[in-house]
Amino acid sequence: MPLPRRYLSIQKALGALLALTSLFPLPALLLALVLGEDTAAAFGQAMLVAAGLGAILWWPVRTVRYDLRLRDGFLIASGSWMLASMVATLPFVLGLPELPFTQAAFEAVSGLTTTGASVFTGLDGLPRSMLLYRQSLNFYGGLGLVLLAVAILPMLRVGGMQLFRAEVTGPTKDTKLTPRIAETAKALWKVYLGLNLLCALAYWAAGMSLFDAICHALSTVATAGFSTHDAGFGYWNNPMVEVVATGFMLVGGINFGLHYMAWRRASTAPYHGDTELRFFLLLVALVALAVTLALWLGGAYPTLGEAFRHAIFQSVSNITTTGFTKDDFSLWPSFAPLLLVMVAFVGGSSSSTSGGMKVARVTMAIRQGLREIKQLVHPKGQFIVKMGGRRVSESIVLSVGGFCTLYVLCFVMVTLALAAVGLDVVTAFTAAAASINNLGPGLGEVSASFGTLPPAALWICSFAMILGRLEVFTVLVLFAPSFWRE
């Protein structure tokens, strides 16, 4: 019995997306050839395998025509991330044969979902081409694989809005910057590329080598957190490098639609009236102040200025879910370590590269809670939820409430699953938080590396990373029986 045209069209889209991911190792392959590194063969083989699998999926159904629906976008988005993660694993498996497959898959998923959690040690001794490949995964996953495909592949422009809505982050999914969704995707990627270039130049000017500057730019604007050194930013211990990192992490945590409008108008006006941005910056300031006081009063650093320098860097890193580290913040005094893990649940702005629930959703949830309190005091009163001086529709308020509930429930389930496979409570709690929020570092056993976790825990965390990156609904809808009915 032949498959319905719906599934054949989905197969066609997944084949094209898989073929696109075969190009991911290309920059690393070129660098390996230039430097004469042995990893060139691994990158070449991985590209051939991915291109071949993509062709096998795409060729038989290349002539199928079908108008994609929203639920098809969910399946394509989830499927493409899972397939791309497996393909991204190949260079690690082929280039580092001593690395177990589970750890290689975890590293690939972490890179693409911009989580930044790592099982690698000895980064300073890895081939430069492998380091570049690892960092490039952060770059590809920053704005999203499907968004990249919509911008590049003409065949995905039919039904592009469904794909866009399935992957874009935030409570409102229908905001287009341009009339055509493909043009919107291109516009966002132009801004993203420009910010990466500026970030690399700034790092280079601040004291990094050109190679490190490029690699860290790829993971900074993507708010991803991979580094080319085991010591992270402690390798440089350079205040100017930290200023550049802090600035561009903040940029990555802001709505890219605002960046695009500011670029088009050559003005900072689009930033001024954005309620979500104001709350985001207020959160950064409050957390940085609280961590500074905890470090100074706890005697972690001798002066208030030194405490602030470390606090602002780590606070911005964790709020934007970048996960860069300069010191082991799990050793900091008082409430600072737990606060830094918990703020990742809020994350950055909608349509940013950050993880977490997003500032807009958390703000709406808080205002809805306050509205319920007012309603109890004044039962006959009429109260509304506002954002930016405008009323938020009841459907969005309900959607945000449902999202926050499911998000927290998923976090609890992941925590319990990790505890069930043998992790202690602190490690299970923070590993789950670091994974579903796409943060990276946690506390306990995962404060520095996930490499000591058992294979079952790594697979659970890998699933949680994709779940968080696609904002739970896109993945969970696939488990609804009604989804699969025609």
**Is residue 39 part of an annotated ligand binding site?**
no
Distance (Å, whole) CA 148 – CA 137: 13
What interhelical angle do 145-152 and 70-95 show, nearest 10? 100
Helices assigned H by DSSP within 96-209: 101-112, 128-142, 145-152, 160-167, 181-206
A 10 A CB-CB count for 102 gives 18
DSSP count for the chain of H helices, then E strands: 21, 2
Look-up: residue for tokens 């976008």?
73
**Is residue 458 part of an annotated ligand binding site?**
no
What interhelical angle do 128-142 and 40-58 show, nearest 10? 30
Buried-exposed string 46-71: b where 16+ CB fall within 10 A, e elsewhere: bbeebbebbbebbeebeebebebeeb
DSSP state of 10: H
**Is residue 452 part of an annotated ligand binding site?**
no
**Is residue 438 part of an annotated ligand binding site?**
yes
Which parts of 240-389 are beta strand (E)? Answer: 386-387
A 10 A CB-CB count for 227 gives 24
**Is residue 220 part of an annotated ligand binding site?**
no
Spatial CA neighbour of 349 closest among 431, 419, 268, 252: 252
* C-alpha distance from residue 41 to each of 21, 49, 125 (Å): 17, 12, 19
Q: Phi/psi of residue 358, each to 5°? A: 85, 140
Contact between residue 145 and residue 73 where contact means Cβ atoms under 8 Å apart = no
**Is residue 223 part of an annotated ligand binding site?**
no
Residue list for the binding site: 114-115, 321-322, 438-439
* Annotated binding-site residue numbers for K(+): 114-115, 321-322, 438-439
